[in-house]
Amino acid sequence: MHADHHYEIGTSHPACEDYALSGTRDGLTWAIVSDGCSSSKNTDVGARILAHAAQKTLIGLSRKMTDEKFMKVSFCSVFYELLQHRIQSTRVSLGLDWDSLDATLLLAYARAPLGILAQPLWGAMAIGDGHIVVSHGDGSKTHVGISYESGAPYYLSYNMCPEKDEGYRKAFGPDRKLRVCQTYHRPQGDPDVKEWTESPYAQISYCVDNVADPGFQPAQITLLSDGLGSFENCTWVQDTGQAVRAVTDYKALAGEFVRRRMRGFRKSYEPAGGSHYDDLACAAITMVEA
């Protein structure tokens, strides 16, 4: 298994508020993306804090992640609780206000077999909005786009700070839902699309894993911030689905494969005046031989 990441500033931003991390350690491989809120101050710092806190929390849980029962019953809740504790400790020590932590968090992980674990355990989750793409060995892709009908994600910081939670609820109420759109792209033919809505106050807005079916192993898992939908003057990128395919169609899976693909994509649209106005971050895990 191998992981890589890359992030780029958008044309409308004075500082890049997206961030990404990836790595491998002692059989655990991870990919992380965080997207800071443009209307809050210092969220470029907050995005980095969330990403590094998530990385540290995953590494700390690495040994337990070989236990299928733990992964099925407890992983998400334990991860979320430890993540909040680490973020709060960092916020206090740095003297940051809550607005600095207004950022989304996407993470993917793959745990190599250890002991009685016969197959790798893998999964991905979102706290807020963004995109998760699972690429299959036959060239098909399952793209999950997570968004909010209000246009404003329910950030982790809202769940941690009662005043911010109250303000969000007063502004948007229960009617503007969390929206999930899952699109299965075949190598040929029309895609299959499923859509559903959830409570906008869900702590974890989406998750997927192979605990129930340990035998299923994707070729890659890719995480992308919502900047994927911010391309301008790119006539051949007509929708987010085309952007997904352009960004995740990796030509090689060794070294900086995410960085190469994103830079190659940029070279395809910049000569014609194309750009993306929002920051864009990507991180990916490949689970096949590079």
**Tens digits of per-residue pLDDT, 81-138?**
999 999 999 999 999 999 999 999 999 999 877 655 567 789 999 999 999 999 988 8
Residues 6+ apart with CB under 8 A from 102: 36, 37, 40, 43, 46, 155, 157, 158
Q: Which residue reads 């070279």 in tokens?
A: 267
Provide the pLDDT for residue 189: 84
**Is the Cβ–Cβ distance between 48 and 91 less than 8 Å?**
no
Any idea where the domains of the chain sit in the sequence?
A: 2-286
With CA atoms as reference, report the closest residue to 230 among 8, 40, 5, 80: 8
- Straight-line distance from the first to the last Cα atom of the chain, in angstroms, rounded to the nearest whole number: 8
Provide the pLDDT for residue 116: 52
**Is the Cβ–Cβ distance between 243 and 275 less than 8 Å?**
no
Does pTM top 0.85 for this prediction?
Answer: yes
Provide the pLDDT for residue 104: 97
Ramachandran region of residue 279, left (φ > 0), alpha (ψ -120 to 50) or beta?
beta
With CA atoms as reference, report the closest residue to 153 among 88, 226, 82, 86: 226
Report the CATH superfamily, name and number, of domain 2-286: PPM-type phosphatase domain (3.60.40.10)
Provide the pLDDT for residue 238: 65
Provide the pLDDT for residue 75: 94
Which amino acid is located at 24 in the chain?
Answer: T
**Is the Cβ–Cβ distance between 51 and 29 less than 8 Å?**
no
| Sign of the alpha-carbon torsion through 267, 273, 274, 277 | positive
- Give the C-alpha separation, 34 to 57, whole Å: 15
Residues of the chain with pLDDT under 50: none
